[in-house]
Amino acid sequence: MKKYISSLMMLFAAAIWGFAFSAQKAASHIPPFTLNTARSLLAAVFLFLLIFILDKLLKNGRRLISKRGLDFNRTELVGGAICGVILSLASLLQQSGIGSGTDAGKAAFITALYVVLVPVFSLVFGKRAPMNAWISVGIAVVGFYLLCIKGDLSLEFSDTLVLLCALVFTLHILAIDKFSPKCDGVRMSCIQFAVATVLNLLCALIFEPPIDPAAIGSAAWSILMLGIGSSGIAYTLQIVGQRGVNPAVASVILSLESVFGVIGSAFLLGEKMTEREYAGCAIVFIAVILSQLDFNSLKNTKR
């Protein structure tokens, strides 16, 4: 039963992230640094309160987490700061791409390429990728070609921004892989969003016009979805749920984010995609799943 509950947590996280692409599109009239400041601040406050609440909760007379109050260790501070910088850049690229013309559903699938890229970039850190990861890269390239390359073989600028976002998210995942085993994930995530808030606020004050309260108010629901839902709740569900799910299975479930992205853009925004683009989506999704399968484990299971 616990395994199924963990899987449901992963599924809900993927659904929140997928539908959040529609929220980003709805809030695209807000400058990216300003929007990311608002969502990061909401996430940091939410996680800060969550740490305080979890520290007080008891189950059968025992604390759910070790009593540390609102204390943060060095690894959580350093790891959170590094992840905050990377996440700020990734969010900027993603929001800029969506705001420049990339459909929310297409952005969801392009962003999902990070799942394919992670095993490839792991080679830099001495982690050899299995053969199926390399095959997945080739399949994903075909899918991305169908999804984003137009008739004149040109790549839209907005699509390039989202692709760069996928590359940066790859670094984000690798950074989490390095720091998370040595610290509390919720605390590190809280620092991550606190750093992201400061960075985005500074950039907003320097590069963007003064914050328009009316524009913020008109996208209040989208900002709440992105801040509390996509950043705060979804990241927490991933951290808690992944403890009871095999990593390969968890990655496949989380990759459903791209499917929910298409569903959300269709139902919430009324966006339309061509048959060619749908074919590209399907191929990329197959690559995402293939990259996470452990063929050796499957063989052992059959035996």
Identify the bridge partners of residue 58 per DSSP, sorted by sequence position. 63
Name the CA radius of gyration of the chain, rounded: 19
pLDDT top residue among 54 and 79: 79
**197 has a pLDDT exceeding 80:** yes
**pLDDT single digits (tens) 233-244:** 997 777 777 665
Start-end of H helices in 57-103: 74-99
For residues 25 and 265, the answer to whether their CB atoms sit within 8 Å is yes
**pLDDT single digits (tens) 52-67:** 887 776 554 455 555 5
Confidence at residue 283, expressed as pLDDT on a 0 to 100 scale: 87
pLDDT confidence tier of residue 205, bands split at 50, 70 and 90? very high
Confidence at residue 51, expressed as pLDDT on a 0 to 100 scale: 85
Pick from 188, 187, 186: nearest CA to 175: 188
**286 has a pLDDT exceeding 50:** yes
For residues 237 and 47, the answer to whether their CB atoms sit within 8 Å is no
Instruction: Choose the most confident range, by mean pLDDT, from 20-29, 62-71, 255-264.
Output: 20-29
Start-end of H helices in 149-292: 157-179, 185-207, 213-218, 220-224, 234-241, 247-254, 257-268, 275-292
Confidence at residue 266, expressed as pLDDT on a 0 to 100 scale: 73
Tell me the C-alpha distance between 299 and 281, whole Å.
29
The torsion of the CA quartet 118, 261, 179, 172, rounded to 10 degrees, works out to: 60
Distance set, CA 68 to CA 43, 73, 228 (Å): 21, 10, 24
pLDDT top residue among 49 and 121: 49
3-state helix/strand/coil string of 132-176: HHHHHHHHHHHHHHHHHECCCCCECHHHHHHHHHHHHHHHHHHHH
pLDDT exceeding 70 applies to what percent of the chain? 81
**139 has a pLDDT exceeding 90:** no
Distance set, CA 250 to CA 133, 149, 255 (Å): 16, 31, 9
pLDDT top residue among 164 and 152: 164
What is the residue type of 264? G
Confidence at residue 67, expressed as pLDDT on a 0 to 100 scale: 57
Confidence at residue 61, expressed as pLDDT on a 0 to 100 scale: 46
Identify the bridge partners of residue 63 per DSSP, sorted by sequence position. 58
**1 has a pLDDT exceeding 50:** no
**pLDDT single digits (tens) 157-187:** 888 898 899 899 888 878 877 787 777 878 8
* Lowest pLDDT segment from 121-125, 133-137, 159-163, 289-293: 289-293
Identify the bridge partners of residue 59 per DSSP, sorted by sequence position. 62
Confidence at residue 289, expressed as pLDDT on a 0 to 100 scale: 78
| Per-chain mean pLDDT for the chain | 79
Per-residue pLDDT averaged across 134-144, rounded? 80
